[in-house]
Amino acid sequence: MLQYLTQQRTDLTIDKLRSLIDAKKQKIGAGYLTEQGALFLVAADLGISLDQQRSPLRIGDLYVGAKDVTLYGRILTIYSPREFARKDNLETIKNRTMVIYDDQSTIKIKLWDNMVQVPDEMGFRPGDMIKLSKGYVKSGLDGKPFINVGMDCQLEKTNEAPSEIPDLDAMTRTIENVGSPLDNIIIEGYVRSNPRMSDYRDSRGGMSKSLQLQLFNEDGTKSLRTIIWNVSEIRLPKVFRIGSKIRLIGVRIKSGNPQYGNGDFEIHGDEGTVLSTPQEQTDIETMTLRLVSIGSNTADDRLISLGLLGDGKLVSVIIDKALVPNNMTSGSIIECVPSRIFGTNLTLTLNDSYIRMLDEGTPFPSALDCQTKISDVVASNMPYIIEAIVLQHPNTTQINTRNNEMIEMTDTLIGDDSGEIRLLGWRDLGHNINSLTLGDRIRIIGAIASNGLQGTPEITLKPYSSITKINSKI
């Protein structure tokens, strides 16, 4: 505001204005005015209006209390609408958040009531240049300013904005450029391990999903743990393969948690984060695979299975029960068009997938061709097939989770001619391990490896996993 006044009156300096502010505060009396409030009165004395509605501002010029703001910026992220009820009369209110940026700063825009639908009606997308008129600036709970957008405000796409506002490509960083905490950035990298979706309980007590992955630089020498909270699968690309180059729009960099990594920085996003691929594949080709294990049904009536591709890779396959052929069993060969490919996870839904059984004589690899020795097992989200001998009697213990829930965990030790490894089963999956006895020779299909408390790999059963006794115990 001081700079704005000096631009209107070349005879004024910053120091002169500060003297005028101090004099005004002394005249009015202590405890009645802030420096900013005194500046409004000084500006009026000088005949200068701080109503800047006819002069577009930069984001960095905004201050809490500014009214009739006109601003240009590019859209970084657009959040989904939210509804909540007032405490006084339980009236339902809608709001929505957008984040825009210019060449130096970012700011949140809060849309209310009927303005909530404007981004959809106008077809707004990240990277679009917009003009905002008649907004006003308030202070958020974090003390940072944001622009409130009510019925009198206008939002529109424009080509008249200042040329110095960069596009999304110019704003994009790489893993090598991360060296400090940052907010509202765009970062690009490569997915070199299987991404993972997890359920968690959010701050409101509801269940949400998070996407977790490692984002690598191009040559694979540096990676950052990446978590997108409250993620919606609808906003994810339909094809998300290992090795994909991805861009995350609207994330922040924070210090890492040594418990989950090397203590380096981490990438965190939320429901407004956009995950895209530079050459996003929208059409999924027909795939052929052998079902090597068929597991349990999910709560939403889907069948969790394990499939073997023609190149010998294992994938999890989630199929709507309504799509499942009557004669489909473990060992069946199927042809399908998934609705989504997510790392090594395939999803087949009723409305946009296809599946048919192939003749049993169709040439295709067997699960026996894809076994792994225990010494070659490494922590990853890739399913393994292992033949081994049970070396200890199974043991079941009660575990208290972070949510104060008591659950069962069953474990045993298995080994082959290359080494030994711990086998775990949580909740009902532990029953598969409890049925084993010392000396059994078994084949485990679809176990996932992770690092245990001692830092050594251990394997855990999944809903699609199976254990078969392949002969009598030795």
Helix, strand, coil share (%) of the chain residues, nearest 5 = 15, 45, 40
Q: What percent of the chain has pLDDT over 70?
A: 91
Range of the domain at 185: 170-276
User: Is residue 366 assigned to a domain?
Assistant: no
42 and 134 inside one domain: no
94 and 150 inside one domain: yes
User: Is residue 232 assigned to a domain?
Assistant: yes
Amino acid symbol at 425: G
Which of 225, 256, 276 finishes a domain?
276
In tens, the pLDDT along 233-283 reads 777 888 887 888 899 999 999 987 766 655 689 999 999 999 988 665 556
User: Is residue 364 assigned to a domain?
Assistant: no
445 and 420 inside one domain: yes
305 and 378 inside one domain: no
199 and 162 inside one domain: no
77 and 102 inside one domain: yes
User: Is residue 110 assigned to a domain?
Assistant: yes
111 and 148 inside one domain: yes
Model confidence band, residue 26 (pLDDT cutoffs 50, 70, 90): confident
State yes or no: pLDDT of 53 exceeds 50. no
State yes or no: pLDDT of 230 exceeds 80. yes
99 and 112 inside one domain: yes
Burial of residue 195 (CB within 10 Å: 0-12, 13-18, 19+) is buried
Q: What is the pLDDT of residue 242?
A: 81
User: What's the mean pLDDT in 53-76?
Assistant: 79
Which of 357, 383, 411 finishes a domain?
357
User: Is residue 76 assigned to a domain?
Assistant: yes
377 and 458 inside one domain: yes
Kindly list the distances between the CA atom of residue 119 and the CA atoms of 107, 116, 154, 167, 469, in Å, as whole numbers in the listed order. Answer: 16, 7, 11, 19, 58
User: Is residue 6 assigned to a domain?
Assistant: yes
83 and 162 inside one domain: yes
In tens, the pLDDT along 136-169 reads 899 888 888 999 998 888 899 988 766 788 999 9
Which of 166, 192, 222 finishes a domain?
166
Q: What is the pLDDT of residue 140?
A: 85
Neighbour count for residue 72 (Cβ, 10 Å): 19
User: What's the mean pLDDT in 221-230?
Assistant: 92
User: Is residue 55 assigned to a domain?
Assistant: no
161 and 73 inside one domain: yes
Backbone angles phi, psi at 232, to 5 degrees: -110, 130
The CATH number of the domain where 195 resides is what?
A: 2.40.50.140
248 and 291 inside one domain: no
Domains of the chain: total: 5
State yes or no: pLDDT of 2 exceeds 50. yes
User: Is residue 365 assigned to a domain?
Assistant: no
User: What's the mean pLDDT in 324-343?
Assistant: 87
Count the residues in the chain.
474
